[in-house]
Structure 1
C-alpha cells in the first residue's frame, strides 16, 4: 500500500499539481457564480451627539464596495444602506473616527468589502444658548395719505442655540419680510424668523408682528 501511494505521488507530479490547481479554480468559479458587486456613495449619519456639543463640520459621504448575490445587488436601494457613527463619547475639538463594517447597515446577504475613506474627520464645538432681540422686517408702504406709526413684535426676544463661535456674534435675529403695501389700518401677521447662520436654532418658529399706521402729517 505504501509503495502504491509513493508511486502515485512521484508519478507525473506536475500533472497532478495542475489538476489540483484546476480543481481549486473551478471551485472558486462555482462559488462565485451569480455574485456581483457595486460601489455606492453613502451619506454619513451621526447619533448620540452629547447635549453640550454641536457638530459643526464633518466628512459628508463615504464610498462603499458591496458584494452579494446578483439579485440582491440589482434590487439594492440607497435608502437601505446606512453609515452611522456613534458620538456618545465624543469631545470638543477635531476628532478622527475609523470606520469598519460595524458602522455600515446593509440588507441581509450583502457584505462590505471596502470603505473609502477609512477615517473621517469631525469638528465639535461647545453648544451655547443666548437670548437675543427680534427685529421685524417691514416692506412696502401703507395706503396713500397714511404712514407707518409703530411696529410691535411678540415675543420681543427669543432664545437661540448653536455653536459657541457663531452664537457669540449674534445680537439680534430678523423676521421674514412683512408686506404692508396698501394697508389702511392696524395690521397683524405671524411670520417666521430669518436665521441664516448654519446650525443656529431658535426656541420658537414664528413671532407675531403688529403694524400701526396713521395719517401722514
Structure 2
C-alpha cells in the first residue's frame, strides 16, 4: 500500500499491508484474508477459490457462449470484450431487460441461467460475500492479448456497494491489480470530525476510528493468480 498528498501529487513509498482474518462469518473461508481500508470498507481476498478443473469447465462454457462483444466508448473500441448476465433477464427480444451503463456504453443483460456453471458460481460467491442477489448482474470480461486492458476504471456508476471478481484464466502466474479507493468528502469542516444534523451529532470516522484526512489518496496493489478472487465492499 502507499499514500500521497493530493496537494503535492507525490506518492510515498510502498509498504507491506498486513492481511487479517475476516471479521464476519459470511466472508469466512479457510484461506480468505482481508484488508481494512483507513476510510472504511474492506477488500477480501479468496486465494484458490476455483480448482484447475473448475476453471477449465468454466472457461469452456464462457468461450462457447458466443456472447463476448467489443463495445465502443467515445467512438473508439474498448481494449477488451465482455457481456452482461442477469438472473431476471429473459429471452424475449422486445421485453425490457436489466442493464448496466458506464460512460456512453449501455449493456443489455442476457439470461444468467443460460450459463449454468457461471450461474452456480455466482450464487456460491454471493453467499460467501453476504450478497443475496447481484442486482446489476454478472459481467464476464475477456482480455485477449497483452494489449487488452481495463485501465483506470470506476465501479460506482450505478451505486455499486459490493464487487466480487474471480480470475478464471490467466497466462501470467500473478497479475498486478491496483485498487484506489474513492476519497471520502467531509461535509462540514467547521466541526472537527463531526457532522451536525439538527440536535444530533454524527461522528465521521474511518474504519480504525481516526478522523478522515480528505487530502490523501491511497493505493493498494494485489498479486493474484488463476482461481483467486477478491471482493470490494
Give the TM-score normalised by structure 2.
0.19
Structure that is richer in helix per residue: 1
- Which one has the largest radius of gyration? 1
